[in-house]
């Protein structure tokens, strides 16, 4: 792919050199021998209102590089009937300027109209305003419709995740408003490895590691396309410089507190040196292979578990258990997505749901935001969350002895009716049970219990206490932090009496005695939901 672009060095040598550059500024490009006129280049880069003939420059760029500068899959999609209007996300940086010029130069052949979109995060004060001005002028000179928005004062977008969410919401809204079937993003090949490293750290599967894709389709949003995903960042900048096309530099790219910058400037160059090979090219090939695998698995999951890909009220648990875990996980994710619940289930919670499906237990429950997922012998289905009566954190649910529940906090509460032997009874009576994690209570089989969060005014009498007092006072006595109190489940009897809170002994009224033969064992396991 670099062969049809400007090439002064071998691919690997150039990749190592470019990976070591701190940023793509004038001095870096001069060091690569890419500009003969330092003053002219600096003027182009710093003056966003430079009287540049943008249309002629875009044609020159296309003439030098040809149609291969658009990803073949994206080019085929744009030439079809589904994306006659394309929203081009342009930050003013090199990648998005290059993409816009290439799309503009080929718009007539492809039969598309372009709408240029810019979101101003207002991170860098006057520089951010100059970015917006630069893109607006670029769109005007290319005779493209222009749409923009900026971060509201009440939105604190000073994290990568929040900034991305705000930008994406704007782009999708703008695309719908302007009748655009596609949104074009300027991701290039070097972005792939950065994304993969970030997602490996989060424990992503094939779908996550296959991103960013050249084409990403959504049911509820316009299709995302990445026309220059097959090109290297260095090649893009060399081509722009050769055609004297300016772009804006983002000073926040120098901030090593941003994880992607640290990966780009420190980790990846060291990785390239250690392995003595072009790791970005290898990552791009792995992304392609992972996309193939993910597509194949998705096809098989739809074939074996078709109901999961619809908004069905329930799924056949036996069918889920009969399928390989990889297909079942995809089916459950698709089913939750169809009900707009996938964002309410964290990665650890999804693992717990998978374990619950294959577990031998007859019944189970776990939180999925506004509903609970209920597993019985035959099915996996939804159950509405009942009114929590002001409970601040733990969403309420009702369970029977022998059932387990994964709470909205990500914690696990298991119940099991057991027969007491002499050794276990002795441990219980002599205080040999960790009350932070377990409790044994004397109840009859078949009773139901409510699990909810701590509420102001809750009163409780644990074993050995002379009487009832506020649960808040018990928390203070036991030095349980305020944040932890809000995460602890409160287990109540069918009569509404508190029978146990992790960290405290169980209720005195239901304590185990020497004559107790059968007990309900409650086990609490706190799990981080993030």
Q: Which pLDDT value is given to residue 12?
A: 44
Secondary structure of residue 520 in the 3-state scheme: strand
For the segment(s) 2-292, the CATH number from 1.10.30.50, 3.40.50.2300, 3.30.1330.10, 3.40.50.620 is 3.40.50.620
Nearest by Cα to 100 from 61, 72, 68 = 61
Tell me which of 326 and 122 has the higher pLDDT. Answer: 326
What separation in angstroms does the CA of 183 have from each of 40, 57, 108, 130, 170? Answer: 33, 23, 18, 23, 11
Euclidean distance between CA atoms 296 and 293, whole angstroms: 5
Most confident of 33-37, 77-81, 255-259, 402-406: 77-81
Confidence band, pLDDT 50/70/90 cuts, at residue 52: low
| pLDDT tens per residue, range 446-461 | 778 888 888 877 889 9
Q: Is the pLDDT of residue 303 over 90?
A: yes
Alpha-carbon span 160 to 458, nearest angstrom: 41
> Average of pLDDT values for 255-267?
84
For residue range 472-527, list pLDDT tens digits in order. 888 888 888 877 887 888 999 888 889 999 999 999 888 998 888 888 899 998 76
Average pLDDT, the chain: 83
**What is the structure's pLDDT at 485?**
82
List residues bridging with 374 in a β-sheet.
365, 381
| Angle ∠(29,31,32) on CA atoms, nearest 5 | 65
Cα–Cα dist 283/95, whole Å: 19
C-alpha to C-alpha distances, 428 to 117, 492, 508, nearest whole angstrom: 66, 21, 13
Q: Does residue 8 carry a pLDDT above 70?
A: no
Read off the pLDDT band of 11 (50, 70, 90): very low
Q: Is the pLDDT of residue 425 over 50?
A: yes
Output the pTM of the full model: 0.67
Highest-pLDDT range among 324-333, 348-357, 358-367: 324-333
Q: Which of 392, 390, 355 is nearest to 373 (CA)?
A: 355
pLDDT at 448: 82
Taking each helix axis from N to C end, the angle separating 11-20 and 268-275, rounded to the nearest 10 degrees, works out to 140
The residue whose two tokens read 């994306």 is 83
Q: Give the tens place of pLDDT for each residue, 116-157.
A: 999 998 877 788 899 999 999 999 999 999 999 998 776 655
Rounded Cα gap, residues 162 and 170, in angstroms = 13
Does residue 212 have a cis bond before it (omega within 30 degrees)?
Answer: yes
Neighbour-count burial of 246, counting CB atoms closer than 10 A to its CB (0-12 exposed, 13-18 middle, 19+ buried)? buried
Structure tokens at 343: 């964002």
Nearest CA among 519, 525, 469, 477 for reference residue 498: 469
386-525 CATH, one of 3.40.50.10860, 3.50.40.10, 2.60.120.340, 3.40.50.170: 3.50.40.10
As given in the structure block, the two tokens for residue 399 are: 């369970």
What's the pLDDT score for residue 405? 80
Q: Crossing angle for the helix pair 233-242 and 11-20, nearest 10 degrees?
A: 90
Instruction: Tell me the helices (H) and strands (E) count for the chain, helix number first.
Output: 20, 20
Confidence of residue 79 (pLDDT cuts 50, 70, 90): very high
Q: pLDDT tens digits, residue range 166-189? A: 899 999 999 999 999 999 999 999
For the chain, give the number of residues.
530
Q: Is 152 exposed, middle or buried (0-12, 13-18, 19+ CB in 10 A)?
A: exposed
**Percent of the chain beyond pLDDT 70?**
85
Pairwise pLDDT comparison (317 vs 417), residue with the higher score: 317
What was the pLDDT predicted at 43? Answer: 41
pLDDT for the residue numbered 482: 76
Q: State the pLDDT at residue 219.
A: 79
Q: Give yes or no for residue 77 having a pLDDT over 60.
A: yes
- 272 pLDDT higher than 50: yes
Using alpha carbons, select from 114, 103, 170, 106 the residue that is nearest to residue 140: 114
Evaluate whether 45 touches 51 at the Cβ level (below 8 Å).
no
Evaluate whether 86 touches 74 at the Cβ level (below 8 Å). no
Sketch the domain layout of the chain as residue ranges.
Answer: 2-292, 386-525
Whether 90 contacts 218, CB under 8 Å: no
**pLDDT tens string 234-244:** 999 999 999 99
pLDDT higher than 90, residue 30: no
For the cut 50, the answer to whether the pLDDT of residue 18 exceeds it is no
128, 121 contact by CB (below 8 A): yes
> What pLDDT, on a 0 to 100 scale, did the predictor assign at position 36?
32
- Residues contacting 466, CB < 8 A, separation 6+: none
How far is the CA of 429 from the CAs of 189, 234, 424, 506, 514, in angstroms? 65, 72, 9, 12, 8
Model confidence at 88: pLDDT above 90: yes
The three-state secondary structure class of 41 is: helix
Q: Which of 184, 171, 92, 158 minimizes the C-alpha distance to 131?
A: 92
For the ranges 122-126, 172-176, 287-291, 377-381, which has the lowest average pLDDT? Answer: 122-126
The pLDDT value given to residue 107: 96
Question: For residue 435, what are its two tokens?
Answer: 């009350």
d(CA 38, CA 23): 17
Sign of CA dihedral 89, 94, 99, 105: positive
**pLDDT reported for residue 33:** 31
Burial class (CB in 10 A: 0-12, 13-18, 19+), 328: buried
Show the tokens assigned to 376.
Answer: 């019985």
Cα dihedral sign for 121, 126, 129, 135? negative
């Amino acid at each position: 792919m670099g062969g049809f672009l400007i090439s002064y060095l071998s691919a690997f040598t150039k990749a190592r050199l470019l990976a070591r550059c701190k940023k793509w500024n004038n001095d870096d490009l001069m060091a690569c021998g890419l500009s003969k006129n330092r003053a002219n280049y600096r003027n182009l880069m710093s003056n966003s209102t430079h009287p540049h003939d943008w249309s002629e420059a875009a044609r020159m760029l296309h003439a030098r590089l040809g149609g291969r500068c658009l990803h073949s899959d994206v080019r085929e999609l744009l030439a079809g009937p589904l994306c006659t209007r394309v929203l081009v996300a342009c930050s003013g940086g090199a990648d998005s300027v290059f993409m816009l010029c290439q799309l503009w130069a080929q718009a007539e052949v492809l039969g598309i109209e372009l709408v240029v979109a810019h979101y101003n995060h207002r991170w860098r004060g006057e520089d951010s305003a100059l970015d917006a001005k630069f893109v607006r002028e670029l769109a005007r000179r290319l005779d493209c419709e222009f749409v923009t928005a900026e971060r509201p004062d009440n939105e604190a977008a000073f994290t990568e995740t929040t900034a991305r969410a705000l930008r994406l919401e704007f782009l999708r809204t703008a695309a719908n408003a302007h009748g655009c079937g596609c949104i074009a993003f300027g991701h290039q090949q070097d972005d792939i490895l950065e994304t993969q490293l970030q997602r490996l750290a989060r424990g992503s599967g094939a779908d996550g590691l296959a991103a960013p894709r050249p084409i990403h389709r959504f049911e509820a949003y316009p299709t995302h396309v990445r026309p220059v995903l097959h090109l290297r960042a260095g090649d893009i900048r060399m081509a722009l410089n050769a055609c004297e096309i300016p772009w804006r530099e983002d000073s926040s790219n120098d901030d090593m507190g941003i994880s992607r910058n640290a990966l780009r400037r420190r980790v990846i160059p060291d990785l390239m040196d250690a392995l003595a090979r072009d790791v970005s090219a290898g990552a791009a090939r792995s992304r392609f292979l992972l996309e193939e695998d993910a597509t194949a698995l998705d096809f098989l999951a739809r074939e074996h578990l078709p109901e999961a890909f619809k908004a069905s009220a329930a799924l056949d648990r036996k069918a889920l258990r009969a399928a390989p875990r990889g297909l079942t996980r995809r089916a459950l994710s698709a089913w939750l997505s169809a009900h707009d619940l996938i964002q309410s289930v964290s990665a650890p919670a999804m693992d717990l749901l998978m374990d619950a499906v294959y577990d031998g237990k007859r019944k189970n429950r776990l939180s999925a935001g506004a509903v609970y997922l209920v597993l019985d012998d035959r099915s996996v289905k939804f159950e509405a969350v009942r009114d929590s009566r002001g409970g601040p954190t733990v969403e309420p649910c009702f369970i029977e002895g022998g059932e387990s529940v994964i709470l909205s906090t990500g914690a696990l509460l298991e119940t099991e009716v057991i027969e007491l032997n002499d050794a276990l009874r002795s441990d219980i009576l002599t205080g040999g049970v960790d009350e932070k994690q377990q409790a044994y209570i004397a109840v009859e089989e078949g009773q139901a219990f409510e699990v909810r969060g701590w509420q102001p005014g809750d009163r409780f009498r644990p074993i050995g206490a002379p009487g009832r007092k506020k649960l808040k006072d018990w928390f203070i006595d036991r030095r349980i932090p305020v944040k932890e109190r809000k995460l602890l489940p409160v287990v109540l009897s069918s009569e509404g009496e508190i029978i146990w809170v992790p960290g405290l002994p169980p209720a005195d009224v239901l304590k185990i005695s020497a004559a107790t033969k059968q007990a309900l064992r409650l086990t609490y396991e706190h799990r981080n939901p993030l």
